[in-house]
Amino acid sequence: MARRRHEEEHENHERWLVSYADFITLLFAFFVVMYAISSVNEGKYRVLSDALEAAFRAPPRSMEPIQVGRLARIALEPDALVVLPPLPPPSLGGEPAGELAGREGLPRVARAVTRALKPLVDMGLVRVRRRPDGLHIEVASGVLFPSGSARLTPEAMPVLERLAQVLRTVPNPVRVEGHTDNVPIRTTLYPSNWELSAARAASVVRLFERLGVDPGRLIAVGYGEHRPVADNATPEGRRRNRRVVVVVLAEGTEEARRALPPDAPVRTAPPREGRP
């Protein structure tokens, strides 16, 4: 009896401190983890952001997505550009293309481009126009690039290859213009439409160089959304404004002279018979 009373006297009445200490330790660990999460690693965040952006901005499966709403369109087949029939090397009316200069050769260049890209011209995706400064070849950006990207799609290669076949046979300077609609873009690569339009023009210029076009005659220009050809208030207008324009500058103009390298030979068109 005395022994049991002795044991009760030495019983530990502070065992609750063990549980309390465990609770405080877990609470401290919780706040440490919360603090670590609140400190964002900018580098890792940028990598994650770029990965998500690349996943959600994958190349479209058709050049024109189906419009949801009143303006429904038929989506074009993704292989429409790949199955274009092969064409012989471009010929400009039987004359060597390299001998043509100034405004005399531009109509023949226009006919050669129209023949090379006739399926796209018939579909309205490529437009060939004569302007005072030269020949304007307008290509819808949906043919060349995914939305919000400056990386050329596989479908764009046959189009630009055929265009390069014509361009490398003429001596005229070539200006490649990138244009966008007015929808703002803010990504790590393209903070605004200026960067996107310039990057698209540069992508086309780099490909032309690889395909044999003289790089000394190539110019890349980005205009962003500031030179629209249609109303940006409508989907159709925005689609028209998203474009790449390849301008074959007419020789003899001031802009063409500025575009040529300083040591480039000056070409003049041969006079026609019957002229003084």
pLDDT-derived band of residue 85, with 50, 70 and 90 as boundaries? Answer: very low
Domain assignment of residue 48, yes or no: no
The predicted-structure confidence for 94-150, as pLDDT tens digits, reads as follows: 444 444 444 557 888 898 888 888 888 888 889 999 998 899 999 998 889 988 889
Output the domain CATH number for residue 201. 3.30.1330.60
**Total domain count, the chain:** 1
Nearest to 127 by CA among 211, 245, 227: 245
Domain assignment of residue 267, yes or no: no
| Residue-number span of the structural domain to which 125 is assigned | 97-259
pTM of the model: 0.61
The predicted-structure confidence for 209-234, as pLDDT tens digits, reads as follows: 999 999 999 999 999 999 999 999 99
On whether the CB atoms of residues 134 and 256 are closer than 8 A, the answer is yes
On whether the CB atoms of residues 239 and 142 are closer than 8 A, the answer is yes
Domain assignment of residue 42, yes or no: no
Domain assignment of residue 227, yes or no: yes
Q: What is the largest CA-CA distance in the chain?
A: 142
Domain assignment of residue 58, yes or no: no
Domain assignment of residue 61, yes or no: no
